[in-house]
Structure 1
């Protein structure tokens, strides 16, 4: 069930992002790192750490779309100097550049990126994260926020 729109709006304002950019995902063995949640370069961002905190992947959500023509032209995360390769995988794009890889998932005017180092997080994990990306419910919205912020506590 989607989060109450007033709670989502308040949380998004606190992070400095538009409410429609707030997404979450879930992958067994990974939890959101609350301190990472917020705005980066006009996008919503959250990092997910493995239970042992040995690996992580990042979720970025911004406005846009991706096509076969635009896929290789869009930089992959912070990797802007390497050739981006693109492979269609269902409704998503699997992209690689240098030592990084991601799934990019277009959804209703936004583009969800699940990004990680190739040698730390395997493609299966990223694919699961991409398939599970969705708008947060009340409990998920609460999990993104530190306790005592006044929103949904």
Structure 2
């Protein structure tokens, strides 16, 4: 769907506001082999959203979580990693995408128009898939928007 025209903010607001998600924090991504699990879409931190994509061949999952804010090297390292039990978080800004690691776990953060989109994985989602998801984060097209809020 990347390359398709983005849905209007009004269209996004109509669906997202009903479930407590700020329209400006609605994002989608695209990774070969992964399909959106519509039942996973819902509110995240504050007024952000959370959504998961599933790879039926491998069982791997990747999740995006959006929130308002900015990320600096200091705040990146200070924020605990989603699935890592303690330990120091290492951060590196790689071409506009933050790569966070701790305890062998990888997470990526895309920054878009004042929004932070955190990308994490489960069930052996590869760091390469997570990075691809972070790079391809975008405002959803009309078709993606309908799928995001279909459940």
* Structure 1 runs of 4+ with >3 Å offset: none
Counterpart check, 1:61 vs 2:66: yes
Counterpart check, 1:131 vs 2:135: yes
Give, in whole Å, the separation in 1 of the partners of 2:69 and 2:106. 19
For 1:76, the equivalent position in structure 2 comes to 81
- In the comparison of the two structures, how many residue pairs are matched? 146
For 2:34, the equivalent position in structure 1 comes to 30
Give, in whole Å, the separation in 1 of the partners of 2:28 and 2:83. 21
Gap runs ≥5 in structure 2: none
- SS of the aligned residue for 1:106 comes to strand
For 1:9, the equivalent position in structure 2 comes to 13
Greater per-residue strand proportion: 1
Gap runs ≥5 in structure 1: 148-153
- SS of the aligned residue for 1:35 comes to helix
**Over aligned residues, Cα RMSD in angstroms?**
1.7
TM-score, normalised via structure 1 length: 0.87
Task: Pick one of 113, 120, 123 that aligns with 1:115.
Answer: 120
Deviation at 1:2, TM superposition (A): 1.5
